[in-house]
Amino acid sequence: MSAEARRQPGPLLYASVDSPVGELLLLGDGAALRGLYMQDGSRPARISDGWERDAAPFAAVAAQLAEYFAGRRIAFDVPLDMRGTPFERRVWRALQDIPYGETVSYGEIARTVGEPTAARAVGLANGRNPVSIIVPCHRVVGAGGALTGYGGGLERKRLLLDLESGQLALR
């Protein structure tokens, strides 16, 4: 294969997966996951022209999600290709460090990423997380532990937090 052919990006691939929080749309390039969207939430992803439906590249992601919802997985091990600003990527990395079953505030994440006065900006970056559940933006709560904002809806955020705390069994 020529160097030029190797540089050409392939089509984006997608697949749908059923879950206890509704339909999940998985998006990637066959090598890494770029998006995981709750299609029943307030911001479903629209399938674009040029995307190709292909479930095979997402088999490992789907299996890990099934294990997570069954209470048998606390961390994900899938390659990610998350595209955003440098600040957003710092926030998303910090989200991945929140332990399973725990929550942190937007202010705590702001301090973690070295921007202690940027809690609102953290909230915006959190809302732009393209790989929900796997990058656990649902583990971020308001000051005092209040459930605030979640693209999938607060009922889904509560479900995920209850699952992780052991208060809910989805088998």
pLDDT in tens, 6-35: 434 678 999 999 999 999 999 999 999 999
Domains (ranges, CATH) in the chain?
3-69 (3.30.160.70), 86-165 (1.10.10.10)
Q: Please check the confidence at residue 63 and state whether its pLDDT lies above 90.
A: yes
Average pLDDT over residues 139-162: 83
Query: 48, 23, 17, 49: which is closest to 38 by C-alpha?
Result: 23
Dihedral sign, CA of 126, 128, 134, 135?
negative
DSSP calls for 59-114: HHHHHHHHHHHTT--SS----B-----HHHHHHHHHHHTSPTT--EEHHHHHHHTT
Tens of pLDDT, residue by residue over 36-56, are: 999 887 777 888 888 999 999
The predicted structure's pLDDT at residue 168: 54
pLDDT, tens only, 81-129: 999 999 999 999 999 999 999 999 999 999 999 999 999 999 999 999 9
Q: How far apart are CA 96 and CA 137, in angstroms?
A: 8
Q: What is the pLDDT of residues 67-77, one digit of tens each?
A: 999 999 999 99
**Among 146, 126, 145, 144, CA closest to 136:** 126
What is the pLDDT, as a whole number, of residue 167?
Answer: 63
Q: Kindly report the average pLDDT of the chain as a whole number.
A: 88
**pLDDT over threshold 80, residue 161:** yes
pLDDT for position 3: 41
The pLDDT of residue 66 is 96
pLDDT of the residue at 12: 94
Active site residues: 137
